[in-house]
Chain A
Amino acid sequence: MDLVAELESVLGSERVRAHPLDRRVFAKDAGVKTGPVAAIVFPETAEETASCVRIAAEAGIPVVPRGAGTGLAGGAVPVEPALLVVMTRMNRIFEVDEQGRTAWVGPGVINLELSKQLASTGLHFAPDPSSQQSCTIGGNVGTNAGGPHCLAEGTTVAHILAVELVTVDGEIVVVGAEYPDPIGLDLRAVIVGSEGTLGIVTRVLVKLTENPPAVGTLLLGFPTVDAAAATVSEIIASGLVPAALEMMDRPMVRAVENFVHAGYPTDAAAVLLAEVAGHPEGVRAEAEMIERIARSHGATSVRTAADDAERALLWKGRKSAFGAIAQSAPDYYLHDTVVPRTRLVEVLDAIYEIAARHGISLLNVFHAGDGNLHPLVSFDASRPGELDRVLAAADEMVRVSVEAGGTLSGEHGIGLEKRDLMGLVFSADDLDAQARLREAFDPTGRMNPGKVLPEGSRCFDRAAVSGGTGR
């Protein structure tokens, strides 16, 4: 029996696709790269997922899991013809423990949908990527996703208690437990961020966070990018931990304002969107403190959201930023580096300089509070040589960030996009250790191969061990 017939015998013909047009549509995520897809399946249970993994093994093709396809680093884009396992139909919220503040959910549950469903309980799932209205919990686990509010709450890894995982040989295992400190090695942090290279997550036990009693949201306009960056550094140095602290430069503000009409100050060189949360008294005091710091750095406008509707509108502007870029060009390339917050000003200057030197159009929007930069390049990939220039500039921007003491990725994952830059932050020994950990889960190398770790991470040739020696 061929691959498709075999898969159809388990899932039925509706949930198996292999038409060239389907394979084409599923060939990319929200990033810039495409890859070859052999077939697409939509399992609805862990058992079906396991069957798909086993069938792929018999056919000798790799397996790539995919959620909503909002990833920007190519994590769900195959590098060789693969079985694409789409998790969107596993979108049930199985049980919510309001007292214990946890919930078992399917990996296909949409991030924002989870918090919406929980609205009546006063709880929410804290990680809030900009794509939260579309992206799935499974994708959040895969990439260890962040988001504006991860400044105070931590990224996804801090909100996952356990995962159910289908391993490469089709076994279903649970990693982690309902209590915070499981005995033995804590493998949860190994699974979170592994981008499907260790197995496919089929159920997730998430930690839920109480909604804050009061929230204050400020939109601050600055005459220069440096003034905004200096404000961020001083807020952090003052010991304040805002719930979120986001920066956008003028080109970005203009693109966003054109879409949301939220009244962003389009004449400011940069704006900061700051949020403080907690008890009403504390919120008021912290908001005043942020305003004072901003004014001391020459803030030209200070606007405080009067109610939830205004707050939602201001956030809509921030969270639409990536999509709004198409107003200037049909393609975008989005970076995700992290730099020490004390060096924001100089790294930003260097990034603007790199863009100018390569003659590319740059917009900046990022999580200023934790130094997670998202320089956003808009370009037209159909123009000859343009993508190459963009990628060359990208490479330099990453190097500048790493040289300043930062790193490759804050939240989007490594995927395909930054895989070959891993050597900038890890030594050969580090990469070998990571590759060996991966082999412990997947000795065959068929779980989302070609992602995260660059070719040759393992210090000896894999072919040499295929006979079963060396481990």
Chain B
Amino acid sequence: MSWVTDFAPERDDLDSCVTCGLCLPFCPTFRLTGDETASPRGRLAAILAVARGEQPVDERFDEMMSFCLQCRACEPPCPSMVPYGKIQERVRAELLVQRPSLRRFLRRLVLGRGLASPTMLRTAGIGVAVAQRLGLTRLVGGPTGRSLRALRRVSLPLRPTRGRSWEPRGTPVGTVALFSGCVMDVWFTPVHEALVDVLRVAGYRVVAPASQVCCGALAAHDGAAFDAVRMAAHNVRAFAEVDLVVVDAAGCGAHLRDYGHWVDGGAELAAKTVDATVLVARLLDDGALPELEGDRGEVAVQDPCHLRHAQRIVEEPRRVLRAAGYVPVEIDDLGLCCGAAGIYGLSYPDTSAELGRRKAAQVRDSGASVVASANPGCELQLRGHLDVGIEVRHPIELYRDALLDELTA
């Protein structure tokens, strides 16, 4: 018995690895351990052994796979272009079925069902807002507590974007749909609002379709494949009428752009989805948005893995930051994962924290007092490991602040 689900890894994908080993130094878990079994090539060898029926899906296999951050840093350096992220998602789907556990069941409930439910999200949003006001977040220990305390202050009442629309300032040039997401919409509303402000200045009408749901990335990464398919199908319908979809969370963007693997019509949605920094950079190039004067100092750039590795977006966030009057500072030439990796910290708190500390040290060494990160998970991880005094912002927020300064001046 090797695989048992319809989501099993495809043999052609596995065979595309020629075991050259060029991926090894780019893998954060290999860098920490020096261990082949914690490397992309080693994991692929293990997966292939299972696919051939030569090794069972046992506890050790589960461990080897689960230790992977799914950061996809191994994909850009791979000359054979192995679709590692896709393979890993499919392995997780097998693990969910073949290695059932209470923890897996609960995770599936939260990631596969909870995140897809606007009611649940609203409840969680209000819950956190109240906890923040009563100081209850201090009582939670471990990585969950650290992330909770690293959250921005959640507004009350909540201001979700789902179902809303905004008219352009000045001459209308077109309509763009905002991908609201799940936690982004209740816990990171200010990022959406900043993006909407910027797009309106550029002449866009912005709509956030009411029927959209969570993209399903966290469900897919954890093996809740049926839930991921359902959410993807839902979003394909929700965005069927628009030509352009903008997303300001790297994790959601990467997953939306992989929708072709998941559902019929997914490739069409993927093709019209664009990361916020890419869209704003394009608008800057076209002269639809201004290059802002002024010297705002240095900003450390943290590349979210699902922006840099999964979507290969590197230049655009820097372009946006320069246009906002900042000098981008590089902190890590390999772009190693910060350790957030979705809910990885729950399973591997020590590894997650070690990577978080390393990333925070790189930010500190840069000397910048602001760090730009275009993904909610990374934002929490950075703030959780950085000292007060270093601000963590989305690049679009930094541009919006500079833009509004200029417009009101």
Spell out A's residues near B (CB within 8 Å): 17, 19-22, 24-26, 28-30, 42, 68-70, 86, 88-89, 91, 108, 110, 112-113, 116, 131, 133-135, 256, 259, 320-327, 330-332
Contact = CB atoms under 8 A, between A and B. Distances in A.
A190 B18 CA distance: 32
Nearest to B52: A382
Contacts of B61: 21
B42 A68 contact: no
Nearest to A110: B25
Contacts of A21: 37, 46, 49, 55, 58, 60-61, 64
B20 interface: yes
B384 to A, nearest CB: 26
B22 A131 contact: yes
Question: Nearest 4 A-B pairs (CB), nearest first?
Answer: A88-B34, A323-B79, A326-B80, A320-B79
Given A20-B55, A21-B49, A133-B77, A323 B34 contact: no
Contacts of A17: 37
B242 to A, nearest CB: 31
Contacts of B77: 133
A24 B81 CA distance: 24
B250 interface: no
B34 A42 contact: yes
Contacts of A89: 33-34
28 contacts: A19-B60, A21-B58, A24-B45, A24-B49, A24-B54, A25-B42, A25-B45, A26-B36, A29-B19, A30-B19, A68-B21, A68-B24, A89-B33, A89-B34, A108-B34, A131-B22, A133-B22, A133-B25, A134-B22, A320-B22, A321-B79, A323-B20, A323-B22, A323-B80, A324-B80, A325-B18, A325-B80, A326-B82
B401 interface: no
B21 A24 contact: no
A69 B36 contact: yes
Given A86-B34, A86-B36, A113-B25, A322 B49 contact: no
A110 to B, nearest CB: 6
B16 A326 contact: yes
Contacts of B24: 68, 70, 134
A330 B16 contact: yes
B66 to A, nearest CB: 14
A22 B79 contact: no
Nearest to A34: B45
Contacts of B398: none
A327 B34 contact: no
Contacts of A88: 34-35
Contacts of A131: 20-22
Contact of B79 (A68, A134, A259): A259
Contacts of B285: none
Interface string B49-84: 100001100101100100000000000011111100
Interface of A is mostly: mixed
Contacts of B49: 21, 24-25
Point out which of B15, B35, B78 has the most chain A C-beta atoms below 10 A from its C-beta.
Answer: B35
Interface in B94-126: none
Given A133-B77, A256-B79, 7 more contacts: A24-B46, A29-B21, A86-B36, A133-B25, A322-B20, A325-B80, A330-B18
Contacts of A321: 79
A357 to B, nearest CB: 25
Interface in B1-46: 15-25, 33-37, 41-42, 45-46
B346 to A, nearest CB: 21
A305 B55 CA distance: 49
A70 B42 contact: no
A91 B60 CA distance: 26
B279 to A, nearest CB: 23
Nearest to B37: A25
Contacts of B34: 42, 86, 88-89, 91, 108
A19 B275 CA distance: 43
B60 A22 contact: yes
A135 B25 CA distance: 9
A260 to B, nearest CB: 8
A312 to B, nearest CB: 12
A324 B82 CA distance: 10
B61 to A, nearest CB: 6
A131 B25 CA distance: 11
Contacts of B36: 25-26, 69, 86
Point out which of A25, A68, A86, A110 has the most chain B C-beta atoms below 10 A from its C-beta.
Answer: A25
B79 A25 contact: no
A259 B81 contact: yes
Point out which of B16, B17, B19, B79 has the most chain A C-beta atoms below 10 A from its C-beta.
Answer: B79
A323 B78 contact: yes
B46 A42 contact: no
Nearest to A326: B80
Contact of B81 (A108, A116, A327): A327
Contacts of B54: 24
B18 A323 contact: yes
B198 to A, nearest CB: 30
Nearest to A317: B79
A72 B54 CA distance: 24
A113 B22 CA distance: 13
Nearest to A382: B15
Contact of B20 (A25, A30, A256): A30
A2 B384 CA distance: 45
Nearest to B45: A25
A17 B60 CA distance: 11
A327 B17 CA distance: 9
Contacts of A42: 33-35
A74 to B, nearest CB: 12
Contacts of B64: 21, 25
A148 to B, nearest CB: 16
A326 B81 CA distance: 9
Interface in B184-212: none
Nearest to B61: A21
Interface string B287-322: 000000000000000000000000000000000000
Interface in B175-191: none
A323 B18 CA distance: 6
Contacts of B19: 28-30
Contacts of A69: 21, 36, 41
Given A259-B79, A330-B15, A22 B37 contact: yes
Contacts of B15: 326, 330
B21 A134 contact: yes
Point out which of A26, A88, A332 has the most chain B C-beta atoms below 10 A from its C-beta.
Answer: A88
Contacts of B58: 21
Given A25-B42, A69-B36, A86-B34, A327 B80 contact: yes
A30 B23 CA distance: 12
Nearest to A20: B55
A131 B41 CA distance: 14
B18 A322 contact: yes
Contacts of B35: 42, 86, 88
A312 B225 CA distance: 40
Nearest to A320: B79
A296 B35 CA distance: 51
Point out which of B24, B25, B36, B61 has the most chain A C-beta atoms below 10 A from its C-beta.
Answer: B36
Given A20-B55, A21-B46, A42-B35, A326 B18 contact: yes
Contacts of B20: 30, 70, 131, 322-323
B105 to A, nearest CB: 25
Contacts of A19: 60
